[in-house]
Amino acid sequence: MDINFESMLQRLTEFIQKEAKTETVVGEPFQLGGFTCVPVIRLGVGFGSGGGSGDSVKTGKGEGGGGGAGLGIDPVGFLVTKDDEISFISTQQNKGLSAIFEKVPDLIEKLMKKKEAV
């Protein structure tokens, strides 16, 4: 069995280049009231390969090989902008995700006041 590790590594590298791009790590912006929110994620990629051959008295010669890759995605937080202000809300700390939900009632209240003023 001829194992072409160069070809296998080339395919894995192409896969990583295809998946690990800016659009994957920084998501599409979305509007939440007067805020523009941009999700940010952490992307982890791992791969491995191996092969071998040997002789056995019972079975004769044997060969084998294999490879694999894995992709992990972890939400990190949100870039939040309004007018000329920008902030980052983390989802990694216990308070990060809670902070987002804590701000939602204030946001709704502000939007309701603006609507009443019009």
Q: pLDDT tens digit string along 27-36? A: 788 888 888 9
Overall domain count for the chain = 1
- Tell me which residue of 1, 2, 12 sits closest to 67, measured CA to CA: 12
Most confidently modeled range among 25-29, 33-37, 98-102: 33-37
- Does the pTM surpass 0.85? The reply is no
Integer Rg of the chain from CA: 25
Calpha distance 87→50 (Å, rounded): 45
Write out the residue range of the structural domain in which residue 25 sits.
5-117
Count of CB atoms situated within 10 Å of the CB of 77: 21
On whether the CB atoms of residues 61 and 53 are closer than 8 A, the answer is yes
